[in-house]
Structure 1
Amino acid sequence: MSLSVADDGSSATDSGPPSPGSPKPVHGAPRGTWPQVGTYLFILVPFLALIAAVPFAWGWGLGWVDIGLAAFFYTFTCLGVTVGFHRYFTHGAFKAPRAVRVGLAIVGSMALQGPIMHWVADHRRHHAFADRAGDPHSPWAFGTSPAALVKGFWHAHMGWVFDRNLTNQERFAPDLIADDDIRRVHRQFGLWTAVTLLAPAVLGGLITWSWWGAVTAFFWAGLVRVSFLHHVTWSVNSICHMVGERPFKSRDKATNFWPLAVLSMGEAWHNLHHADPTCARHGVRRFEIDISARTIWIMEKLGWVTDVRWPTPQRLAKLKA
């Protein structure tokens, strides 16, 4: 069974800031040759570093400085995506002043998951067509046979990233296009790529006061960290639409998959997110750890964000499956 033909899906009003209601095409201009080459490099080089990590670590080349830097940059940039790109820019789960807005855009860019307007447009499109024709990364795109699901898993996990057809930003991210600050951060993606890879190397070299410390920090806290975060994020696209529980009603196959909850900073509570996309908290039941929601809570207490869309018992009762 293949995906059914989707409805118009031209508006993502149930998923965040509104998109125009006109039936603009799903795809925009195709990605250029060099951006496409860059996509392959930014995905495959860190992935090869991750594969090389096991023999590289066997007895040498890994120390506590590398582990500490990798953990810090992983947490920092992961929250940039989960709190910034996802819950704020895509879904409008809270409001933020200009300084916080720009900061979230920069830190999210440092996760190397693509420029901000590409990321947001893709994700709003995902919600508009979730697990139907038009979804950029549904694991159900090719049917339900074992072979189709294997192909679908690969497509949802990382195969879709290599598609040269970009999501139409005018349709799915007009609010970001109209924001001068966000357009500037979008254009600066190359700069933030350099920062996120070189900053760990500089810190590793300074902390150990050695070139070797800079090299190992670049490898572990730069390349390996980026690739590991890629695969955690992509696992939400693939695993969390195939395996897990569905305690809340949603129009798609999004699930909760608890083993990924901590590593994804709460994004693996994916079923509630698809049932209530603008909610700032995804893990809403007892023992459902949601580090991103706690981060937003801290930011609210500090006065950095306002108008947070927290879940209410009444709302959750209506959403229960």
Structure 2
Amino acid sequence: MTTITPTIDEPRPTAKPVLGAPAGRAELVTIRLFLIIPFLALLAVVPAVWGWGIGWADVAVGAGFYVVSALGITVGYHRYFTHGAFKANRALRVALAVAGGLAAQGSVITWVADHRRHHAFSDREGDPHSPWLFGTSAAALAKGFWHAHMGWLFGTDRTNVDRFAPDLAADADIRAVDRLFPLWVLISVGMPGVLVALITWSWWGLLTGFLWAGLARVAFLHHITWSVNSICHMVGDRPFASRDKSANFWPLAILSMGESWHNLHHADPTSARHGVRRGQLDISARVIWIFEKFGWARNVRWPDERRLARLTVAPTE
């Protein structure tokens, strides 16, 4: 068999660009409205109805949607689709994509592309949401915090899916879920009001369920997720060696379902567990463990003690 060796004169394949086509005006208006409206609802309903306008049904339905949509992001969009921390059967794969859509943080393919780009350029030029892109002065860090937390979402840059998420773009099931993202958002915002109305059998329940368990819950989860991008790259401890400023911030551990154990995640991105030390509660890892026990997940990348030892930063004198 003859081996053909390429010569230096032959063209080499060029890397696909980091960015895709910029967002259009209609897309930007839609995104900005949906970022702002739930937040304004959260600001409005707290002083308006606190103590009398919220009932147990609002809390219960809101908590249920919060857990499902948050796990859709942490277990689904993040640990499974972005990093391949485990393999899932088809039903679980589709369910995780739908659950992530209920968080209203973007369709699964674009979310994954953005996050893979974040890891490729973490805390340096090219990272879509690093708080360290503008310098280290107080003013620069304040600007960086805003940019990392939510400012980057108002920009026109769009991550190139062909470069960062071609595997998902080629999956027919995931493309179908991705196209239906507006439906998942509509269900996430509208269904809680319907459920509360049915539970309380009142029109008032429809309103409070929509405001509290719908809009306000979406806004709250938005800011928990965005805090991992901002706070967890600025404040906290860094026991593991990574190439960036990722840090652990324990106050967010429960609400973020374990995502705020962020330092180990950036040191070992494919690990299914982020909270690996005693007392580091990681709800997402426990859910993955349950999926594995039921046979829905396999080939789970659980932390390896020897690898953790190699990643641990030696204490300074």
For the aligned pair, the TM-score class normalised by the smaller chain equals over 0.9
Match of 1:218 in 2: 210
Q: Secondary structure at the match of 1:144?
A: coil
Q: Secondary structure at the match of 1:31?
A: coil
Return the letter of the residue paired with 2:90: R
Q: Number of residue pairs matched?
A: 301
1:102 and 1:35 map into 2 onto residues whose CA distance is 25
2:201 and 2:162 map into 1 onto residues whose CA distance is 48
**Residue 107 (structure 2) aligned to one of 110, 115, 139:** 115
Return the letter of the residue paired with 1:82: T
1:57 and 1:27 map into 2 onto residues whose CA distance is 44
1:22 and 1:86 map into 2 onto residues whose CA distance is 28
Q: CA RMSD in A?
A: 0.9
**CA radius of gyration, larger in:** 2
Residue 72 of structure 1 pairs with residue 64 of structure 2: yes
Match of 1:95 in 2: 87
Return the letter of the residue paired with 2:168: L
2:294 and 2:24 map into 1 onto residues whose CA distance is 42
Match of 1:39 in 2: 31
**CA deviation profile, 1:33-74 (whole Å, cap 9, x unmatched):** 222111111110000011113212234211111111111111
> TM-score if structure 1 supplies the norm length?
0.92
**Residue 165 (structure 1) aligned to one of 149, 157, 160:** 157
> TM-score if structure 2 supplies the norm length?
0.93
Cα drift, residue 289 of structure 1? 0.3
4+ long deviations beyond 3 Å: none
Mapping for residues 77-156 of structure 1, pairs under 5 Å: 77-156=69-148
Return the letter of the residue paired with 2:244: D
Match of 2:223 in 1: 231
Return the letter of the residue paired with 2:107: P
Match of 2:301 in 1: 309
Match of 1:10 in 2: none
Return the letter of the residue paired with 2:215: L
Residue 176 of structure 1 pairs with residue 168 of structure 2: yes
Match of 2:48 in 1: 56
Q: Secondary structure at the match of 2:301?
A: coil
Q: Secondary structure at the match of 1:282?
A: coil
Match of 2:4 in 1: none
Return the letter of the residue paired with 1:35: E
Percent identity over the alignment is: 66
Mapping for residues 181-260 of structure 1, pairs under 5 Å: 181-260=173-252
1:198 and 1:48 map into 2 onto residues whose CA distance is 17
1:229 and 1:282 map into 2 onto residues whose CA distance is 19
1:186 and 1:317 map into 2 onto residues whose CA distance is 39
Return the letter of the residue paired with 1:70: G
Cα drift, residue 197 of structure 1? 1.0
| Structure 1: gaps spanning 5 or more residues | 1-20
Cα drift, residue 22 of structure 1? 4.5
Return the letter of the residue paired with 2:246: A
1:63 and 1:35 map into 2 onto residues whose CA distance is 36
